[in-house]
Amino acid sequence: MWTTMEGTSLYLPIVMVLMQCAPCAPVTVTTSKHKVEVRESSDAVLSCMFRTERDQSPRIEWKKKGKDVSFVYYDGHFRGTFEGRASIEGATVTLHGVTQEDAGEYRCEISAPLDAVSLGETNVTLKVLVPPHTPACEIPSSAVTGSVVQLRCRDQQSIPPATYSWFKDNRPISMPRHANATYQIDFHTGVLEFKSVAKEDSGRYSCLASNGVGLPKMCEGKQMTVEDVNINVMVVVVVVLLLLAVTCGCGGLVLHRNGFFTRLMSTTSLRPKNRRISNTHSPSCSEKLAFRHCIPTSCQPRIWDTLSEVVIFHFSFYLLAFFGFFFIDCHWN
């Protein structure tokens, strides 16, 4: 008998503790999937499961986090843009025909006022996947041999971001395997760059965008033609410019010989401000030079003639040299 009483006395405190703690159990809120990824225009299921101790009719709320927290489901109704295109079963919400605007973080809140700890919540992140769109391709129609040429391909709407593959004449262009290759491809930015384009690079180019969500999309192919520099045209242009330079130089020299620049300098000389010259008095050369009234031809130093000739000669020489080097550079390139 004492043994039975002793055993009962040992279990009694444990039973009392359990009875006191039972009402203290909090509301339990869980989700089967914290991260949900669905394709655009499909349905997204945001799971929310709860368990309460006493309250059999808890309040269910869904909110979406952003710059401001907005209600998705409140007081038994969907709110805002979710009205008419969402449904709820228990506490699990299904969004129909999701768009990029639906992507974000959602929170399921369960309120059970009759429970001692009356509030529980869980978070679900929704990511809306977008299949590739037809990429925008920038392909030059022509290029000059030896120049740097970039072909660009970009799809800014696909989620996750697309990767890109280039084709020439409907054949895939592989990644170069050696460092001194004449081209390089960036599959993430969609840039195909020729470091020194050659005539063999002529062809019809197109780009394919893919991200593993939907079907890949390709831009319309465009022909790129690589041509050599037209030497004949360059020769004609250089000859015309050389003739123009020689004509200008000779013309300037003839004008100088005839005193055109001398007369021009004489007519633009400054007159003294405070000294009057009588209309009846013709000042001598020494007076004109003293008062800086004019610089007649007979009084000018011959250094001006020499200096003008040197300037014209050097101008013509450097002009000819410039076009000569230009022609040589174009010929070798």
| pLDDT, tens digit, 9 for 90 and up, residues 61-89 | 999 998 888 999 999 999 999 999 999 99
According to the model, what pLDDT value does residue 275 have?
46
Cβ atoms within 10 Å, residue 333: 11
Q: How far is the C-alpha of 235 from the C-alpha of 315, rounded, in Å?
A: 22
**H or E stretch covering 14:** helix 2-21
Task: Pick the most confident of 179-183, 261-265, 268-272.
Answer: 179-183
According to the model, what pLDDT value does residue 177 have?
78
Burial class (CB in 10 A: 0-12, 13-18, 19+), 315: middle
End-to-end CA distance of the chain: 115
pLDDT, mean over the chain: 78
Phi, psi of 7 (to 5 degrees): -65, -40
Residue with tokens 């945001």: 46
Complete DSSP assignment for 254-320: HHHHTTHHHHHHHHTPPPPSS----TT----HHHHHHTT----GGGS-THHHHHHHHHHHHHHHHHH
Instruction: Give the pairing of strands 92-95 and 86-89.
Output: antiparallel
What is the share, in percent, of the chain residues with pLDDT greater than 70? 63
Q: Is the pLDDT of residue 48 over 80?
A: yes
The whole-number average pLDDT for the span 247-259 is 65
Complete DSSP assignment for 37-104: EEETTS-EEE--EEE-SS-SS-EEEEEEESSS-EEEEETTEE-GGGTTSEEEETTEEEESS--GGG-E
Phi, psi of 16 (to 5 degrees): -65, -40
Q: Is the pLDDT of residue 158 over 60?
A: yes
Q: Is the pLDDT of residue 160 over 60?
A: yes
Q: Is the pLDDT of residue 130 over 80?
A: yes
pLDDT band at residue 92 using 50, 70 and 90 as cut-offs: very high
Q: Which two tokens stand for residue 160?
A: 């996750």
According to the model, what pLDDT value does residue 241 have?
74
Q: How far is the C-alpha of 26 from the C-alpha of 119, rounded, in Å?
A: 8
Q: Is the pLDDT of residue 244 over 80?
A: no
The whole-number average pLDDT for the span 106-113 is 94
The whole-number average pLDDT for the span 223-235 is 76
Instruction: Give pLDDT tens digits for 174-228.
Output: 988 787 788 999 999 999 999 999 999 999 999 999 999 999 999 999 999 999 8
Q: Which residues of 175-212 are buried (b: 16+ CB within 10 A; e: fewer)?
A: eeeeeeeebebeeeebbbebeebeeebbbebbbbbbbe
Estimate the crossing angle of helix 303-332 against helix 260-267, to 10 degrees: 120
Q: Is the pLDDT of residue 153 over 70?
A: yes
Q: Is the pLDDT of residue 10 over 90?
A: no
